[in-house]
Amino acid sequence: MVKLNDETRAAYSRYLLELLEQDQTTVFRLKFLDLHPVDQVEVFQQLDETAKEKFYTLMTPSELADIFEELELEEQKEVASNWEDSAMGDVFNHMNADDVADFLGELHEDQREGILTSMDDEDAEDVKELLTYEEETAGAIMTKEIVSLHETEQVSTVLERLRNEAPDAEMIYYLYVVDEAEKLTGVVSLRDLMVASLDATIGEVMSKRVVSVHVNEDQEDVAQLIKKYDFLAVPVISNTEVLLGIVTVDDVMDVLEEEATEDLAEFSATRGATDVNISAFQAAKKRTPWIVLLMLFGMLTAGIIGSFEETLEQVVLLSAFIPMLMGSAGNVGTQSLAIVVRGLALGNFEKKGLVRALGREFGTGLLIGITCALVLLIIIPFFFDDSLYLAGIVGVSLLISLAMAAVVGSVVPLIINKFKLDPAIASGPFITTFNDIVSITIYFSIATTLLQFL
């Protein structure tokens, strides 16, 4: 029994690497295959090029398939570049069609064709079908390796069938029932089968209450559905309700993580740069365009302030409150944005209307603004001499800016969502820059107006 924890992992890896180096191939195979595929991958990643070459010759296509499935895309590409098309075809025949499609989808057309022709026809067909579905839909993440039943089958026959088909199917705990036209008509769990009478028919024990998703449905909606109902899988159907495959809970966990990473990336303008294992130069290349773009927008505020140069010369201290004012508006806007983006992601907006949500955000912004303005009216005169008028200007500007910031932060993602785009593209930095411009304009307009009366 090999159960790895953080302490034993490193030692066991070293032991395996030594076995391989000393050409103790039989022992190596035995010990290596005793690991869970996920742990096998961690050992594999530590091999150098020569060791990898040796490793490929020791393993069967089916064993290599287990490892290949678990690798990241970049690693898969590197490994594949060392293999012949025919060797790859052998390995891919042992992988789930959805994993093969994920990988081939990233390759050049010609390369893809070469590999597909070297695969078994039946497996290649499944992969080709999956490649036709759009990215990030149910079709793109579903698995084709399923067991489907007919209503007329007897429970005992099905249990017997499962003994043969179970090893190949990705999921045998939910079994979906179809009619002669392959249309989905019901579902029966393995648990139901276990407790059913052996001579009952599937039609008698199945549940007709089967929740399914359309093949073009967004993967995030599929994830939310599986999460809502605590399903282990959900069937995917075509326009004509034909059962095409299933999406399983483990695929959906990856989707949830992906979407959370995406949301946070949009929030921080780090799209494509969240990988911590790329070089400083690569990271800078991906992050700089956002920063320069935002800086150019930020230059608008410089232009606005520049146009109020006379007001500034009159009261130089006005500029002292720019950071605080901008920071506060930015914070309130980001809060509103986060609440709306998360609310949309979790589907919480279905229950209540959007207009109500907007009104609520405006009210919230106003209440926060009033509190902050009152605090400022007390503390500014305390720190800056003879500055009650300054406190007045800053306080009123803050109040209006915060109410505006809350509305901007919530309206923008909601509008984007209305147009069926991902609300997170109204990323935090863009909302903040927009709010900077709004609050600076409010501030200097109010200051210029009020200073006329002094």
258-277: contacts with a second copy (CB under 8 A): 260-261, 263-265, 267-270, 273-277
Q: Does 167 bind a second copy (CB under 8 A)?
A: yes
Compute the least distance from the CB of residue 268 to a second copy, in Å. Answer: 3
Q: Binding segment for a second copy among 32-40, 50-58, 96-104, 175-183 (CB under 8 A)?
A: 32-40
Cα atoms in the 13 Å half-sphere on the side-chain side of 8:
7
Question: If residue 411 lies in a helix (H) or strand (E), which one and from where to where?
Answer: helix 388-418
Q: Does 386 bind a second copy (CB under 8 A)?
A: no
Residue 213 sits at φ, ψ, to 5 deg, of: -125, 150
Q: Nearest CA to 435 among 402, 413, 411?
A: 402
178-197 binders of a second copy (CB under 8 A)? 190-191, 194-195
Q: Binding segment for a second copy among 52-60, 115-123, 136-144, 373-381 (CB under 8 A)?
A: 373-381
Token pair 């989905």 in the structure block, residue: 184
Compute the least distance from the CB of residue 238 to a second copy, in Å. Answer: 16
Question: How many DSSP H helices and E strands does the chain contain?
Answer: 22, 6
User: How many Å apart are CA 209 and CA 85, to the nearest integer?
Assistant: 45
Q: Does 378 bind a second copy (CB under 8 A)?
A: no
* Residues 428/334, Cβ–Cβ less than 8 Å: yes
* Residues 41/16, Cβ–Cβ less than 8 Å: no
- 89 or 186: CB nearest a second copy: 186
Compute the least distance from the CB of residue 133 to a second copy, in Å. Answer: 21
- 11 or 317: CB nearest a second copy: 317
Angle at 144 between CA 143 and CA 149, to 5 degrees: 120
User: How many Å apart are CA 320 and CA 300, to the nearest integer?
Assistant: 19
Choosing from 391, 428, 441, 446, the residue that interacts with a second copy (CB under 8 A) is: 428
Choosing from 121, 180, 208, 420, the residue that interacts with a second copy (CB under 8 A) is: 208
Compute the least distance from the CB of residue 336 to a second copy, in Å. Answer: 9
> What binding mask, one character per residue, do residues 33-62 give for a second copy by CB under 8 A, x or -?
-xxx-x------------------------
- 89 or 245: CB nearest a second copy: 245
281-310 binders of a second copy (CB under 8 A)? 281, 283-284, 287-288, 290-292, 294-296, 298-299, 301-303, 305-306, 309
Q: Does 91 bind a second copy (CB under 8 A)?
A: no
Q: Does 177 bind a second copy (CB under 8 A)?
A: no
Centre a 10 Å sphere on the Cβ of residue 381 and count the other Cβ atoms it contains: 16
Residue 297 sits at φ, ψ, to 5 deg, of: -60, -40
In Å, what is the CA distance from 170 to each residue of 166, 249, 252, 449?
8, 11, 14, 71
**The two three-digit tokens of residue 447, written as one number:** 């200051």
Compute the least distance from the CB of residue 301 to a second copy, in Å. Answer: 4
Compute the least distance from the CB of residue 420 to a second copy, in Å. Answer: 15
Q: Does 349 bind a second copy (CB under 8 A)?
A: yes
User: How many Å apart are CA 381 and CA 212, to the nearest integer?
Assistant: 64
Compute the least distance from the CB of residue 340 to a second copy, in Å. Answer: 8
Q: Does 229 bind a second copy (CB under 8 A)?
A: yes
393-412 binders of a second copy (CB under 8 A)? 402
Alpha-helical segments (H) within 45-145: 49-58, 61-70, 73-81, 85-93, 97-104, 109-118, 121-131, 138-141
Q: Does 392 bind a second copy (CB under 8 A)?
A: no
Binding residue count for a second copy, defined by CB under 8 A = 125
* 191 SS3 class: helix
